[in-house]
Structure 1
Amino acid sequence: MSSTESQTSGRQAEDRALRHLEQHGLRLLKRNWLCRSGELDLVMLDGDTVVFIEVRYRRHSAWGGALESIDRRKQEKLVRAAQLFLQKESRWSNHPCRFDAVAIEASSNTVTPNWIRNAFEA
């Protein structure tokens, strides 16, 4: 798979995750927010809680599934990016926060995305 195909698949997975989360009442604040620590795929509001959502897509699970790919190092990068987001977007800094994950496996294209609330702690 070329990097262009991979980016297209990743974008489609994010689109699918976003639709799923919006159907459950979450509201998009930022998408693909970039900083020196990395990228936040989706930043959404669930009631008054700011939710940092990592979307993971896997064509197959030969090297582990989508959720297993969010290892400790990736979690630390997401926490640092979230801290920077809250510094730059200070109106959200006093809100409760959580880290969710949405896993989408290509082999299950017709299945609802696997949304894990509180996928890990900061």
Structure 2
Amino acid sequence: MTESGWLAKRLATLRTPQQRSGDEGEERALAHLQAAGLRLVQRSFLCKGGEIDLIMRDQTHLVFVEVRRRAHGRFGGAVASVTPTKQRRMVHAAQVYLQKIRSQPACRFDLVAIEGEELIWLKNIIS
């Protein structure tokens, strides 16, 4: 095993159960979106002040996707957890990403909410 392969494997074991659950949710969301015809552009885009879980492309838009996973709907569930503050951070991260790629394609923000076994894909959550 290469040194970088060993390190990646070791770091994966250091993730909390919540982080591992989030990773599983992202994998499930990615598979769902790809099955619907979207193409992965980038995962986990991070910048100061924000992040985008998945950046995808459909036929007409660059799609910034937030993935939220909750075990149950208590406290409003996965959909309600995307607060106005989180939405502002998503927009900020998208702006940073667009500056980085020096392009202004048509864009939208989607949410994949997973509660228990139910997956809900909401398109264009931020106007």
Give the Cα–Cα distance (whole angstroms) in 2 for the partners of residues 89 and 48 of structure 1: 17
Question: Which stretches of structure 1, 4 residues or more, deviate above 6 A after TM superposition?
Answer: none
* Structure with greater strand percent: 1
Aligned AA (1:103): A
Give the Cα–Cα distance (whole angstroms) in 2 for the partners of residues 66 and 34 of structure 1: 21
Which structure would you say has the larger RCO, counting Cα contacts within 8 Å and 6 or more residues apart?
A: 1
* TM-score, structure 2 normalization: 0.85
Q: Which runs of 5+ in 1 are unaligned?
A: none
Q: Which residue is 2:106 aligned to?
A: 96
Q: Which residue is 2:73 aligned to?
A: 61
* TM-score, structure 1 normalization: 0.88
Give the Cα–Cα distance (whole angstroms) in 2 for the partners of residues 70 and 55 of structure 1: 10
Give the Cα–Cα distance (whole angstroms) in 1 for the partners of residues 82 and 104 of structure 2: 26
SS in 1 for 2:75: coil
* Structure with greater helix percent: 2
User: Considering only CA atoms, is the larger Rg found in Structure 1 or Structure 2?
Assistant: 2
Shift of 1:63: 1.4
Percent identity, aligned pairs only? 48
Q: Which runs of 5+ in 2 are unaligned?
A: 1-14
Shift of 1:48: 3.1
